[in-house]
Structure 1
């Protein structure tokens, strides 16, 4: 009987997610907010709370995070990452300063304490690579001059996660300063070692994993990813970071084949992850934090636009491209929820989960709009301001007397 209830519940969830994905596709926006709303509906205090399938959904959510980071790592090579670190690190520092500090300040102003401040800083800092990539594709901007700048900032944020997530894990676990420092040192060593191996021996690893049989390739890559993620989590590094580093180590045809094979699984379990986060958020807890979430969304939308504008100007991009870069970076999504999910599981601040949910819901909807309309709106505003400050010319006064041209002496007489 228990298994029958589980199958009914889980089947209803997957079917519902599929229908919501279709609705989002018709409306041409990210399905993430619909998945979060579905989680709110099925969670505690929702319309139809789950029972038998909640434990399986939790496992699926963890796999979803791992696959999200794996697929993101497949997008980049180790050489690209090293190059971005060398050339674009100033943009990464500006990105962190402008977007992490508002979140930390908001948590402290609400009296949540330093640990919650570090968590909320990450929620407001990291843009959604998945939503942004989809928006750029939908708008036909993949080949634009500002696109490498946008991707560089996203790559730097993803690399920063390799350091940030172990710090968060240690803080949430309440370990001592010495233990936390050891955890961070292990994380940095593991990340550096994997990057070194990926740069020097990436082709060897890819040949080892490679297979002409899609079934064998899927099993080897998925098994390797879960194994490394588990070892990383055992070392308090973070399973997500381990999966990200595995993706970086794979390259060439193996990366392309893996991306094709794992994309459906990634989409399935990522959707389950967003539902799982919603399950742990009581809908009744969102209205009290809606105004702070809205204020934080407005502030950090502005700081992201400023970040993209500054980075694009530094790269020599024109004014229109600078505004497009800034507007494209506004969306938050999967990584903000990953970070908040760690805090919700640890139970450090009851209002943090609802605030993060409302914040992501706002910006994942607003993000595609800012990507499309920031540059036209900036151009319209500049035109209006220029017209308002343009000096008005007084009409020329008519001459009092008509002058009669003097005839030259040679023509007289």
Structure 2
């Protein structure tokens, strides 16, 4: 009887997620807010609280985080990461200053203490790679000149997570300074070792994992990822960081084949993860934090736009491309929920989970809209700049002097390759 109830409950969840994903696809926005709402509906205080399947959903949610980070790591090679770190680190520093500090200040203003401040700083800092990748594809901006700038910022955020997540894990666990420092040192050492091995021996690792049989490739990669994630967690390092580093180590045809094979599993368990986060949030706890979440969302949306604009300008991108870069980076999603989930599980601050849920719901809806309409804003600014340049000065005696030849250097705001 217990197994029958489990199958009914879990089957209903998966069916509901599939229908919600279809609705989101037709409306052309991320399904993450709908998944979070589904979790709120199935959790305590919701419409249909779960019973038998909650433990399985918890395990599925943990696998979802691991697969999200693995697939993210597959997007980059170790050499790409090293190159981005060397050339784009100023943009990463600006990104941190403009977007993490508002979250930390908000936590202190709400009276939540230093640990909650560190957690909320991460929630407001990290953009959603999944949502942004989908937006770039939907809008046809993958080949735009500002896209490498956007991806560089996302890569730097992902690298920062390899340091940040172990710090948060140690803080929420309440360990001492010595043990926390040891955890961070282990995390940095493991990350540096994996990057070194990936750069130097990446081809050998990929050759060892490679297989012409999709079944064998799937089993080897998935098993290796879960094994490394488990070992990382046993060493007090985030399992998500371990999975991310495995993804970095794989490259070439192996990475492409793994991406194809694991994408459906990633989507399934990632959806379960968002539901699981919603399960642990009482819907009645959201209205009291809605106004702070909205204020924080508006502030950090503006700071993300400023980050993208500055980074694109530094890379020589035109005005329209700068606005597109800023608008695209606004969305928050999976990482923000992962970070908040660590604090919720540890019971750091009861209101942190509801605030993070409301915050992500707002920005995951606003993010695609700011990306779409940032091009309109950029076009207006570019046109206004062009008009100002073409204004004819009042006629004076100097107008009788033969004109100086005009430079034929193309205007970066009118040159399509610059936008």
TM-score by length of 1: 0.93
- Residue in 2 that maps onto 1:264: 264
Provide closer, same or farther for how the CA distance between residues 385 and 85 of structure 1 changes in structure 2, counting only shifts above 3 A.
closer
Q: Distance in 2 between matches of 1:375 and 1:299?
A: 20
- Rounded to whole Å, the distance in 2 between the matches of 1:167 and 1:135 is 31
Structure 1 Cα separation of the partners of residues 138 and 385 of structure 2: 31
Spell out the pairing of 1:10-409 with structure 2 (5 A cutoff). 10-380=10-380
Partners of 1:267 and 1:375 lie apart in 2 by 29
* Equivalent in the alignment of 2:407: none
CA distance in 2, matches of 1:252, 1:233: 28
Structure 2 Cα separation of the partners of residues 140 and 383 of structure 1: 22
Shift of 1:384: 7.8
For residue 399 of structure 1, what is the aligned residue in structure 2? Answer: none
CA distance in 2 between partners of 1:11 and 1:168 (Å): 34
Distance 2:159 2:167 in 1: 14
What is the distance in 2 between the residues matched to 1:86 and 1:165?
Answer: 22
In structure 2, distance between residues paired with 1:140 and 1:375: 12
Please give the TM-score of this superposition, normalised by the length of structure 2.
0.91
What whole-Å deviation, never above 9, does each CA across 1:239-298 have from its counterpart, x for those lacking one? 000000000000000000000000000000000000000000000000000000000000
Moved segments of 4+, more than 2 Å: 377-388
C-alpha contact (below 8 Å) 2:69/2:241 kept by paired residues: yes
How far apart are the structure 2 equivalents of 1:127 and 1:309?
A: 15
Q: Specify the alignment match of 1:401 in structure 2.
A: none
Q: Per-residue deviation at 1:383?
A: 6.5
1:78-137 Cα shifts (integer Å, max 9, x gaps): 000000000000000000000000000000000000000000000000000000000000
Q: Deviations over 1:151-174 (max 9, x none)?
A: 000000000000000000000000
1:22-66 alpha-carbon deviations (Å, 9 max, x no partner): 101111111000000000000000000000000000000000000
Shift of 1:380: 3.6
* Structure 1 unmatched runs, 5+: 395-413
Tell me which structure has the larger Cα radius of gyration.
1
Q: Any idea what SS the aligned residue of 2:205 has?
A: helix
Give the Cα separation in 2 of the matches to 1:195 and 1:52: 42
Q: Equivalents in 2 of 1:261, 1:378: separation in Å? A: 39
Q: Secondary structure at the match of 1:52?
A: coil
| In structure 1, distance between residues paired with 2:370 and 2:249 | 34
Q: Following TM superposition, by how much is the alpha carbon of 1:363 offset from its aligned partner in structure 2, in angstroms? A: 0.3
CA RMSD across the alignment: 1.8
**Residue 237 (structure 1) shift:** 1.0
C-alpha spacing 1:384/1:77, structure 2 compared with 1 (3 Å): closer
